[in-house]
Amino acid sequence: MSDTILTANNIVLDTKLSSKEEAIRFVGGILYEQGYVESGYIDEMLKREEITSTYMGNFVAIPHGTDAAKKSVKETGLSIVTVPDGVDFGDGNTVKLLIGIAGKGNEHLEILSKIAIVCSEEENIDNILQAGTPDEVISIFNEVN
């Protein structure tokens, strides 16, 4: 994964979030603050969630914008947030690992593939949730080819 897609500045460990909307705004806010997206992208992330949940199982959600949001993406990037106490994503689903995605063109497909590989292993999710530094999280994603 490119060094500019996931940096230590894009990772927030051990935070508390009280709702799905707050969680999506938080991961989207990181993408915005780091210059990957325009501010309107966050609203498109919330719209995507209304269309279909971005909850993937294994305590993971991958909030991202709608197709219409593509124009709001400046460059491809990820944000990762761990919420050890979990946040309710509805339908009885608890999320402890949030991965916000902003993909330019079709770059998000490769990123989604890598995320799916990493998150298919419960051990990887546990390691991310227990990581003490953003660099530990980055190394877990970099181990996957």
Which of the residues are catalytic?
64
Q: What is the 3-state secondary structure (H, E, C) of 66-133?
A: CHHHHHHECCCEEEEEEEEEEEECCCCCEEEEEEEEECCCCHHHHHHHHHHHHHCCHHHHHHHHHCCC
